A and B are shown apart, each in its own frame.
Chain A
Amino acid sequence: MTDALSPPLAILLELTHRCPLRCAYCSNPLALTPAADELSTADWCAILDQAAAQGMLQVHFSGGEPMARADLPQLVAHASRLGLYSNLITSGVLLNEAKLAVLVEAGLNHVQLSFQGLDEAGAEALSGFKGGVAKKQAALACVQAADLALTLNFVITRQNADQLDAMLSYAEQHGIARVEVANTQYYGWGLQNRAALIPSEAQLDAMSTLVAAWRERVKGRMVIDYVIPDYYARRPKACMGGWAQRFLNVMPDGTLLPCHAAQTLTHLDFPRFPASTLAEAWFESPAFAAYRGTAWMPEPCSGCDNKEKDWGGCRCQALALAGNASTLDPVCEHSPQHQQVVTMARREAQLGDVPLQLRRFSFAVEGD
């Protein structure tokens, strides 16, 4: 299988973990990388060079808030010179007309702007940031005025799940071509806050029905991508299109991962840039090889028809829910833990108002 292994298609650069928001669902790790440990501009440019040389096609600038890095325009310009398709994943609160103009000039191809809902109070409760909705709406106007391709990303939790129709109407009124309805995923801070965030099955069913109806109505005008929490599902999702098969993720300090949550797999020794090149990490490191393909699979995955569809699900979720990264994803109905997971999700979804633990830099926690 390794003979046929092709390079990743896309790379996600977590330029920084710094962010003006403090989202309770943030999938950054609990141990956030301090600014002093972030890679330099030259390092990021070298990573882009290697990515392009290896044949990657898309680069996602992410974080934290990537706009917290002053060198973002330089990095975008570097990516465009290399012919990489560039996407900025942003909360929008640091975006204004002047900053956007510089990014457009640098060759940025696409912006993904996230919303925690449309009412200020609700969004502030989830993100710890005052006045965020107004700032995001202003950012949206800037991006549209600049004629830049845009995706709106609505982050869904049980607090705002019932506003989904209003969110989609908002997107339609603004002529948005692509929307992501992204139920929060339970990694990092999101996992810490799962009991407070997870929607009920009834909410999930209502969302699925609504999304199906909307998709039918806006066909050809607005594409809706829909990400569900798979705790209530019978089969897991193919996490990242399979472990280390399509994506490469770089943490702010240069740690190279097959997905943004993989640092929780502390039994694996992930390579780090610049000590390792991207190609060495991808093709040679034992950590990337650990769960690639189907060879690692235990029963019942190894004998399952689905094994090349979902690749046994998510390794990080297996670790988080079953305490073992090398077992099948416990949301799978064939897992001995499946019923336990569903029961837990149902129970947590009924807990009502659970206090949110907003994310914070652990190194700045004194006196917090």
Chain B
Amino acid sequence: MLSLASTVRLAAGTRLQHDAVRERWVLLGPERMLIVDDMARLILERSHGLTIGALCQALAAEFDAPLATVETDVLALFTSMSEKGFLRHD
């Protein structure tokens, strides 16, 4: 289970790539692809080396958003990405 104390990283064989022709970003993995919007991409890029809790605090401060909402959204995003196999967590 993913929690605020977890850290996430891209699963082996997964990468974030710019799809120049279609002007968007995608997560590419074996036989699968996920389109990521700007916010999801930013969250992924910022997640490096931080616990999800610390990441959410930083995001809440930066975007002046309620921490509880940010936590719910980020956990939902990362849970869905890890169930699809794009993310691993500790």
Contacts and interface: CB of A to CB of B under 8 A. Distances in A.
A27 B21 CA distance: 32
Nearest to A109: B13
Given A220-B82, A223-B84, A147 B28 contact: no
B31 A87 contact: yes
**Interface centre among B12, B17, B31, by most A CB within 10 Å?**
B31
Nearest to A85: B28
Contacts, number: 60
Interface string A68-90: 00000000000000010101000
A109 B13 CA distance: 6
Interface string A245-257: 0000000000000
Contacts of A58: 28, 33
Contact of B28 (A57, A150, A151): A57
A149 interface: yes
B21 to A, nearest CB: 3
How large, as a class, is the contact surface on chain B?
20 to 34
A6 B13 contact: no
Given A57-B19, A220-B89, A223-B85, A9 B30 contact: no
B26 interface: yes
A112 B17 CA distance: 21
A112 B26 contact: no
A219 interface: yes
A85 B17 contact: yes
Interface residues of A, number: 24
A220 B15 CA distance: 18
A151 B30 contact: yes
Contacts of B88: 177
B83 A6 contact: no
A6 B22 CA distance: 8
A110 B30 CA distance: 7
Interface of B: 1-2, 11-15, 17, 19-22, 26, 28-31, 33, 79, 82-85, 88-89
18 contacts: A54-B21, A55-B20, A57-B26, A83-B17, A85-B28, A109-B13, A110-B13, A112-B31, A148-B12, A149-B12, A149-B13, A149-B14, A149-B30, A150-B13, A177-B85, A220-B1, A220-B2, A225-B31
Given A83-B17, A109-B30, 6 more contacts: A6-B22, A57-B26, A149-B11, A151-B31, A177-B11, A223-B85
